[in-house]
Amino acid sequence: MPLEEDIKQDKFHNDHQKAAINILYTGSWLYNINAGFLKKFDITPEQFNVLRILRGSFPKPMMLAEITERMIDKSSNCTRLVEKLRQKALVNRFTCVNNRRQVDISITDKGQQLLKRIDASQVTWLDAMGKISKVEARELNRILDKLRYE
Amino acid sequence: MPLEEDIKQDKFHNDHQKAAINILYTGSWLYNINAGFLKKFDITPEQFNVLRILRGSFPKPMMLAEITERMIDKSSNCTRLVEKLRQKALVNRFTCVNNRRQVDISITDKGQQLLKRIDASQVTWLDAMGKISKVEARELNRILDKLRYE
DNA sequence: ACTCAATTACTGTATCTACAATAATTGTAT
DNA sequence: ATACAATTATTGTAGATACAGTAATTGAGT
């Protein structure tokens, strides 16, 4: 391989590759902070995420495919994850009357209350994120959004 | 794409909270791209990560605790992960002579060659990361590094 | 030397994930 | 109406992860 091409590619590689690994690494770091924080509430990050999604749609129920589409980790098994939430009475789960293939999921009162309690303790989140300024947080959002832009 | 559209949530509490979820979301997005890419090489992202760590230390071997410390996901079970790599002959694994509690792990020739092959196909990485500029990649690195500082 | 604490790694087990296979229901073309 | 395709969710299962418990070895205090 010609040297100049090698160097060029190498340099291009390094900043971008470092950024990729940085995102993965920081994502995992943050995930663990979040998981530890949520443990007090006996809920996993993905369960928390699904509850927030359902609150966003409330009072309109959502079907599994819609939830999956919005999940952070789309490959989690939504059927079983929702079943866990149902066992804790945090969501309702009814076969849809109009289309018996689909199930309508919605957050319960108990689920709403849990989210409120969690929101109230979100100070911990800010502890983790507080090391960067508001301007930096915005810049970070801008770049990450651009990165995922189709 | 703005995160709000991706996860169909209208409003975030503040820029910091959005940034946190953005990192988690983008991290997962990138993880899945990476996992799909590495599947061709019959290796998982964490195994790839450990191999890179060992290459960084080569020819000096590392013990399990050192590897764990540098892993992206520290809660993975390093013993079993390294055992998988050993089964594929990508690493060596010897009980340390001076301190029989610890095991010395080092990357093999075959492991080095695999990493070379993977590096050579990193074009796919660039497809994913290429939407942001070099300046943005650097800025991203700076902010993420600051976020995790101490 | 002996005991106890610290270090380092391994193991057990319940749970979760990835991904493919299957089932149930609905839509569509003939 | 029937056959076939499309949609939607569930299940099976191999493998991975989380986390606590155990084992082996070394170090330190007496």
Does position A10 have pLDDT exceeding 50, yes or no? Answer: no
Q: Letter for the amino acid at A67? A: I
- Nearest nucleotide to the CA of A45, by C1', is C16
User: Is any atom of strand C within 7 angstroms of residue A83's beta carbon?
Assistant: no
Q: Residue B73 corresponds to which tokens in the numbers above?
A: 């996901």
Mean pLDDT within A17-40 = 90
User: Is any atom of strand C within 7 angstroms of residue A81's beta carbon?
Assistant: yes
Mean pLDDT within A9-28 = 79
pLDDT at A48: 94
Q: What is the pLDDT along chain B (150 residues), one digit of tens a residue?
A: 676 666 555 456 688 989 999 999 999 999 998 998 899 999 999 999 999 999 999 999 999 999 998 888 776 789 999 999 999 999 999 999 999 999 999 999 999 999 999 988 866 666 788 899 999 999 999 999 999 886
pLDDT, tens digit, 9 for 90 and up, residues A43-82? 999 999 999 999 999 999 999 999 999 888 776 789 999 9
Indicate the pTM of the whole model. 0.87
Domains held by chain B: number = 1
Q: Tell me which residues of chain B, numbers 49 to 88, contact chain A at a CB-CB cutoff of 8 Å.
A: 72-75
Structural domain of residue A73, as residue ranges? Answer: 3-149
Does position A1 have pLDDT exceeding 50, yes or no? Answer: no
- Nearest nucleotide to the CA of A81, by C1', is C16
Size of interface A-B (CB pairs under 8 A): 175
User: Is any atom of strand C within 7 angstroms of residue B85's beta carbon?
Assistant: no
Mean pLDDT of chain A: 87
Q: CATH code at A143?
A: 1.10.10.10
Q: How many other CB atoms sit within 10 Å of the CB of residue A51? A: 21
Of B116, B54, B67, B26, nearest to A144 (Cα)? B26
Mean pLDDT within A126-150 = 91
- How far lies A26's CA from each of A19, A31, B19, B115, B136, in Å? 10, 8, 12, 23, 17
- Closest alpha carbon within chain A to B72: A25
| Banded pLDDT at A90 (limits 50, 70, 90) | very high
A99 touches chain B (CB under 8 A): no
pLDDT at B73: 77
pLDDT at B72: 80
Candidates A16, A75, A149; nearest CB to B126: A16
Between CA B31 and CA A14 the distance in angstroms is 18
Mean pLDDT within A89-104 = 93
Quickly list DSSP for B4-68. HHHTT----S-HHHHHHHHHHHHHHHHHHHHHHHHHTTT--HHHHHHHHHHHHHTTS-B-HHHHH
pLDDT, tens digit, 9 for 90 and up, residues A33-46? 889 889 989 999 99
- Specify the higher pLDDT residue, A127 or A8: A127
